[in-house]
Structure 1
C-alpha cells in the first residue's frame, strides 16, 4: 500500500490569495459580521433625508452591496473549491485504502475480488503498475 497517497501527504502550500480568502471566509462567517450588515442597512435607511433624490439614496446602497457581494463571491468560491479538493483527496485515499485491503483479503476470500473491481469502477480508481 506504499503507492497510496494519504491525505496527510498532500502538502500543497496555499498561496497568498488562498490564505487571504481563508481569512476573509472566517471573517464574514461570524454572527457579528451579519449584525454589522444589519446595522449598515439600519443606518442607511434614515439617510434618505441627506440625499437630493430617492434615486441617489438607492444607488448608494445598491452600489455598496453589489461591490461587496461581487468580491465576497470570488473569495468564498476560492475557499469552497479548496475545501472540495481536500475532501476529494481524503475520499480518494479512503477508496484506495479500502481497495487495497479488499485486494489483500481477496487472496483468501475470492468473493472480495469482484467487490474490489466494482469499487474501483465506481470511484474511478485506476490500476497502478507495480514497479
Structure 2
C-alpha cells in the first residue's frame, strides 16, 4: 500500500514531535533556562522577569501536550493494527479481540475476567499452551479431574 499524502498539520505535528524530543532541543531548553537565570540580577529578579519564564513554559507545555497526545494516539492505533493483524493471522487465536480498543469498559472487564478464569484453569492444569478458550480449559480440567478420581 502506498503512503498517503499527509495534511500540512500532520506533517508539521510529526516533525515538531520528532524534533522536540531530540537532544538538541533539550540542551537548548536547558540553555535558555540558564540564560534566563543568569539575567536575574540584571532585571533585579523582578516580577516581569519571573513572568517571562512562567508564561513561556506554560505556553510551550500547553501546545506540546496536544502534539504528544496526537503522537500517542497514532502510535496506539498502529500498535492495535499490528496486534489485530497478528490475531487475524494466528490459527487458534480468538478473533473476538480484534478491535478490542473499541470495546466499552464493561466489555473489557468481562473479557479480562474471561482471561483470568482461563489463566486459573491453565494453572490448575499446569499446561499453559494447551487450551485456547475457557470452555476448552474447563473440559480439559474436568477430564483430568475425572482421570485422577478413577
Q: Which has the higher contact order (CA 8 A, sep 6+)?
A: 1
Q: What is the aligned partner in structure 2 of residue 3 from structure 1?
A: none
For 1:88 and 1:29, how far apart are their aligned partners in 2? 24
Q: What is the aligned partner in structure 1 of residue 88 from structure 2?
A: 96
Q: CA RMSD in A?
A: 2.4
Q: 2:43 aligns with which of 43, 51, 65?
A: 51
Give the gaps of 5 or more residues in structure 1: 1-8, 103-115, 126-131
1:26-65 pair list within 5 angstroms: 26-51=18-43, 54-65=46-57
Instruction: Give the TM-score normalised by structure 1.
Output: 0.65
For 2:21 and 2:13, how far apart are their aligned partners in 1? 12
Larger Rg: 2
For 1:50 and 1:61, how far apart are their aligned partners in 2? 15
Task: Note if contact 1:18-1:79 (Cα within 8 Å) is conserved in structure 2.
Answer: no
Q: What is the aligned partner in structure 2 of residue 15 from structure 1?
A: 7
Give the gaps of 5 or more residues in structure 2: 100-150
For 1:93 and 1:13, how far apart are their aligned partners in 2? 24
